[in-house]
Amino acid sequence: MTTATQPRGQARTADHPRAARAGQLRRAARWWPALLLVVLFTAPYSALPLPGLLDGPIGSPGNLQLLALCLLFGALATGYDLLLGRTGLLSFGHALYFAAGTYVTNTVMLEAGLPFAVSALLGVLFGVVLSALLGAVSLRVSGIGFSMVTLAFAQAGSILVQRDPGGVTGGEEGRAAPADQLPASLVGIEHTANLYWLALAYLVVVVCAVQWAVRSPLGRVWEGIKENERRVEVLGLRPYGFKLAAFVLAGGLAALGGIVYLLLTGGATPGTTTSDFTLSLLVMVVLGGSGTRWGPLLGGILYTWADHRLGDLADSGAVAGLPAVVRVPLSQPLFLLGALFVAVIYLLPGGVVRLPARLRAARASRVTTDHKEVPQP
């Protein structure tokens, strides 16, 4: 009996260190966001080149500007996913609240002469109030009706900006931010690193706010609304108020992002008010993986990087030397972005963030198949 049970005891002894190591690896893996944050924070000090990804060293002003925009739109897509991926609300008007933060902050500084800090606070408050008012109206309907109402509000805001009432928006040209009223540490190419860190801080704020909201009881109700709104009503809860909370939180985060965008670009432009801007956010979320923790962030970073880098590729000499039938479509950055998006949708349903899980599943399936093919004695 002792001899028969000994191998199993030895197997348990051998498996124990292996299980302990696996547990240590899992615990260590939980800290990878903090490690990544440290790496991102030190990027301005890096002289490491990334050929093909960036031009020149990482810490150069041009690359820091691009990286800051990537972080900004990654955070913006994460906030937008509160509606699409967490609550199941397809809004076509999210650009309106982003533009509200940009235009209100800039206009208050230019017209009222108030300091940047006060103007930025008013910009965020305006974005929150505007999202609460328009959300209260839009959420009276559901489904495609909700999407169309949000689109109508966004179009109205875009037309208002372009009509330039009273000369406060600058019309199609936009308005530059008053450099003398902005913090000196955030103006000028020599302070690009500070702007990069500001975008990184905004990313941290958005990710923390979204994760806190999703893990709270409010987030569990959002999940229930997305899965089956009628069931939530049967439980005695009123979905309208919970959906409005998601709408206002996403709108407030977008308005805060609009202020960061104002500092990064040095002005307010009407391009941020169009429905195309919201469609870009939708592409970012779907590209990365809607409803996931890191998918919208990854999608926003990849889309923004590709939007800038593919434009350089389209204007490169390599494309200019191709035959016309190939050169014409490849010289259009939107064509390249669209082709990339379609490829991801077909090859990676669920977004880029699910690629590791798909690779693990494919490897496990291959191992299982190999075991089945081994002849039994």
State the average pLDDT over residues 84-101.
Answer: 94
Each residue's pLDDT tens digit, 237-263: 999 999 999 999 999 999 999 999 999
pLDDT of res. 12:
52
pLDDT of res. 254:
97
| Percentage of the chain lying above the pLDDT 70 cut | 83
Least Cα distance to 239 among 146, 151, 124 occurs for 146
pLDDT of res. 2:
47
State the average pLDDT over residues 270-280.
Answer: 84
- DSSP-based three-state secondary structure for 57: strand
The answer to whether residues 135 and 244 touch, using CB atoms and an 8 Å cutoff, is yes
Structure tokens belonging to residue 74: 């990654």
pTM of the model: 0.86
State the average pLDDT over residues 65-75.
Answer: 96
Window from 115-119, 197-201, 242-246, 338-342 with minimum mean pLDDT: 338-342
The answer to whether residues 289 and 354 touch, using CB atoms and an 8 Å cutoff, is yes
pLDDT of res. 369:
66
Higher pLDDT, 116 or 341: 116
pLDDT of res. 1:
45
Structure tokens belonging to residue 351: 């977004």
The torsion angles phi and psi of 56, rounded to 5 degrees, stand at 85, -170
Window from 43-47, 107-111, 351-355 with minimum mean pLDDT: 351-355
Whether 226 shows a pLDDT value over 80: the answer reads yes
State the average pLDDT over residues 38-51.
Answer: 90
**Average pLDDT over the chain, rounded to an integer:** 86
State the average pLDDT over residues 12-39.
Answer: 69
Structure tokens belonging to residue 172: 């199609």
State the average pLDDT over residues 327-353.
Answer: 75
Structure tokens belonging to residue 296: 């919208």
State the average pLDDT over residues 110-133.
Answer: 95
Q: The tokens 């009996």 sit on which residue?
A: 1
The interaxial angle of helices 95-107 and 275-288, nearest 10 deg, is 130
Q: The tokens 């409010």 sit on which residue?
A: 218
